[in-house]
């Protein structure tokens, strides 16, 4: 079993009295590209919120490097674990370089506002995400795909070994979705960061993840390498969708093909 810096034990996740998940245990393998999938309202985004310290579990604990994440200061967590929420807001009139620079916040102080290191890391992060030539542009003026790359650059500038992404491809068209996921895969491979993402598209998840967590009704149905766990039975169990699973002709990863006339409940031949 590989080591894990981030995980949760016996989590009960709830909003006020509405319990979303009970006795949930997950581990994010180090240096993995972990993707959490599941049908709507299965608790996948809630799990990500708990892992990123946004939601305090009603029971159990999220552990970051062996310590209860809620006993650590927000700032200490932000130096180890970065988060790109589902719909961050770009302030009116902010420039690209300025937004990326905000990723340095957890490393700055009242009298350490802009070190040469900050400057170098912001430039590197913009280069890594291919937005270095957009530095002076306003974020409002960018296309959806460009904007998402800028947000990724900001998260990278935070320089955390762990990076959590909540549905990073939502609201993007298919070309930009692939562009962002390719970028994530590259960051994972080249920079050795651990990525955790919530994705809607099962085929994207199967193609890009090195570790997949499939959830339904607040519990983990299966976890592991996509090639090992993505089967027609699993998809049926998790999503209630009859389908065939074939090899992706491009990558050889599992490709889920929904059955024709899925509602009839039989797989057409």
Partner 1 sequence: MIVIRTPGRLSVRLHPRVLAVGAVCLLLTVGVGVLAVGHGEYPMSPADVLRTLTGGGSAAEEFIVTQLRLPRLVTGLAVGTALGLAGAVFQALVRNPLGSPDVLGFTQGAATGALVVVAVGGSSAALAGSAALGGVVTGLLIYLIAWRRGVHGYRLVLVGIGMSAILTGVNGYLMTRVPLMSASRAMLWLTGSLDGRGWSDAVPLLVALVVLVPALLACAPALRMTELGDDAASGLGVSVHRMRMLLLAGAVLLVALSAAAAGPVPFVALTAPHLARRLTRAPGVTLLPAALIGALIIVVADQVALRALPGQLPVGVVTGVIGGGYLVWLLATERRAGRL
What is the contact surface with partner 1 in residues (CB under 8 A)? 15-16, 52-54, 73-79, 82-94, 102-103, 105-106, 108, 110-116, 155, 158, 164, 166
Looking at beta carbons only, is 26 or 97 nearer to partner 1? Answer: 97
Give the helix/strand (H/E) hosting 166. strand 162-166
Minimum CB separation from partner 1 for residue 133, in Å? 20
Minimum CB separation from partner 1 for residue 75, in Å? 4
d(CA 107, CA 125) in angstroms, rounded, equals 15
Q: Which residues contact 37 (CB under 8 A, 6 or more apart)?
A: 44, 198, 199, 200, 202, 205, 212, 213, 214, 215, 238
Q: Which residues contact 175 (CB under 8 A, 6 or more apart)?
A: 145
Looking at beta carbons only, is 16 or 190 nearer to partner 1? Answer: 16
Looking at beta carbons only, is 112 or 120 nearer to partner 1? Answer: 112
Give the helix/strand (H/E) hosting 128. helix 116-128
Q: Which residues contact 164 (CB under 8 A, 6 or more apart)?
A: 48, 51, 52, 81, 82, 83, 84, 195, 196, 197
Q: Are 37 and 223 in contact (CB under 8 A)?
A: no
What separation in angstroms does the CA of 180 have from each of 8, 60, 133, 168, 175?
27, 34, 17, 8, 9
Cβ count near 167 (within 10 Å): 18
Minimum CB separation from partner 1 for residue 258, in Å? 32
Looking at beta carbons only, is 162 or 213 nearer to partner 1? Answer: 162
Minimum CB separation from partner 1 for residue 70, in Å? 12
Minimum CB separation from partner 1 for residue 171, in Å? 15
**Residue whose token pair is 């089967």:** 231
Looking at beta carbons only, is 108 or 253 nearer to partner 1? Answer: 108
Minimum CB separation from partner 1 for residue 223, in Å? 24
Cβ count near 203 (within 10 Å): 15
Looking at beta carbons only, is 83 or 243 nearer to partner 1? Answer: 83
Minimum CB separation from partner 1 for residue 255, in Å? 33
Structure tokens at 148: 């998402």
């Amino acid at each position: 079993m590989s080591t894990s810096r981030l995980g949760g034990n016996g989590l009960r996740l709830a909003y006020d009295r509405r319990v979303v998940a009970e006795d949930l245990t997950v581990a994010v393998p180090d240096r993995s590209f972990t993707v959490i999938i599941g049908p709507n309202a299965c608790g996948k985004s809630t799990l990500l919120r708990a892992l990123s310290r946004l939601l305090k579990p009603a029971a159990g604990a999220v552990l970051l490097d062996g310590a209860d994440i809620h006993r650590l200061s927000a700032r200490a967590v932000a130096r180890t674990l970065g988060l790109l929420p589902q719909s961050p807001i770009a302030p009116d009139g902010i420039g690209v370089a300025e937004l990326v620079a905000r990723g340095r916040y957890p490393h700055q102080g009242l009298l350490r506002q802009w070190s040469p290191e900050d400057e170098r890391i912001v430039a590197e992060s913009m280069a890594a995400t291919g937005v270095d030539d957009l530095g002076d542009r306003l974020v409002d003026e960018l296309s959806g795909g460009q904007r998402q790359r800028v947000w990724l650059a900001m998260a990278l500038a935070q320089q955390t070994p762990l990076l959590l992404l909540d549905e990073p491809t939502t609201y993007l068209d298919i070309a930009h979705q692939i562009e962002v996921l390719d970028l994530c895969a590259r960051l994972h491979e080249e920079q050795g960061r651990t990525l955790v993402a919530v994705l809607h598209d099962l085929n994207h998840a199967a193609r890009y993840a090195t570790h997949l967590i499939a959830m339904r009704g607040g519990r983990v149905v299966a976890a592991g390498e996509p090639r090992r766990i993505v089967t027609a039975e699993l998809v049926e169990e998790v999503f209630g969708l009859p389908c065939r699973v074939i090899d992706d002709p491009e990558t050889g990863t599992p490709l889920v093909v929904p059955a024709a006339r899925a509602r009839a409940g039989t797989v057409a031949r």
